[in-house]
Structure 1
């Protein structure tokens, strides 16, 4: 049985993956990695355009949380929030920093990038287990 809402969300996600390239505000080495990580891990829900899917997945473009204090937005990726899973076991501190730096500088967002060390410090402070580094995980 097919739910038309799910089909519509999947079609919108696929269309979002085909959107035009986006520019990030991080350094040259981090920008391509952050964008690639975003497209692989986040765009299906939040869309390549950063506009999300209304009523299902929030927009990241213009989002005050995304542009707010780095620890607040990083904790979402480390611990999850609402229906969003955490990425603590599947993304390294450097990967989380890169994807957040991309999102904080794309789509007109104007927030400073993060460093992997900042994410690592927050991971320790929150008591989130260290990155699995390739070990099997059932999260994604």
Structure 2
């Protein structure tokens, strides 16, 4: 059940899988994709709303398979995360990304 307070828009609570994905995003992705705390000259793309568009910032299709491939194999300046996520963790991260980083 979603409770709306006058003038406020509330989002549903994260599922346990999305909450795990949020944690993974915060500890493994946000420092580059949100905070750019490494002061990279080429700022990594913001992942908020990643799946709202039919294409990724690279022009590739915005699909679970393509996002998983980029995460695991890396691309450009992004390092590969091969063997750093279990299948369950990857599914959780994708679920969180599909939710638009709430």
- Common topology (TM > 0.5): yes
**Greater than 4 Å deviation, 4+ residue runs:** none
In the alignment, does 2:35 pair up with 1:35?
Answer: no
- Find the partner of 1:59 among 39, 42, 46: 46
Structure number with the higher helix fraction is 1
- In the alignment, is the contact (CA less than 8 A) between 2:49 and 2:100 conserved in 1? no
What is aligned with 1:82? 76
Higher relative contact order (CA 8 A, sep 6+): 2
TM-score by length of 2: 0.64
- In the alignment, is the contact (CA less than 8 A) between 1:24 and 1:31 conserved in 2? no
Distance 1:40 1:85 in 2: 15
TM-score by length of 1: 0.48
RMSD: 3.0
Mark the runs of 5 or more structure 2 residues left unpaired by the alignment: 1-10
Distance 2:49 2:100 in 1: 9
